């Protein structure tokens, strides 16, 4: 949880996320309404994301990807 230091500085635990620009665009879309996940957009492949929100962001990203592409069927057809 963020802690206020001297009333002005907010410390956040963040993780560096590197991904393809296409995945980054999806993450930016997920974050655009509430800004719950991204702390800083660093470049075309890198984001700083709130560490506590990373599992939720991963789940949302998986949902978005599942909605946009067909997952391979592992029904044992070897």
Question: How far is residue 26's CA from residue 58's CA, in Å, rounded to a whole number?
Answer: 11
**Predicted pLDDT of residue 62:** 96
- Asked if pLDDT for residue 59 goes beyond 60, the answer is yes
**Predicted pLDDT of residue 40:** 95
Which range has the worst mean pLDDT, 2-6, 38-42, 52-56, 61-65? 2-6
What six digits make up the tokens of 40? Answer: 């800083």
Higher pLDDT, 54 or 3: 54
What six digits make up the tokens of 2? Answer: 């963020």
Please name each of the domains of the chain with its CATH number.
17-67 (3.30.70.1220)
């Amino acid at each position: 949880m963020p802690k206020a230091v001297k009333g002005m500085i907010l410390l956040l635990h963040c993780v560096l996320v590197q991904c393809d620009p296409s995945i980054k665009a999806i993450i930016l879309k997920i974050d655009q309404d509430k800004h719950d996940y991204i702390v800083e957009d660093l470049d075309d492949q890198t984001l700083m994301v709130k560490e506590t929100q990373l599992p939720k962001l991963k789940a949302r990203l998986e949902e978005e990807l599942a909605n946009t592409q067909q997952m391979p069927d592992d029904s044992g057809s070897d």
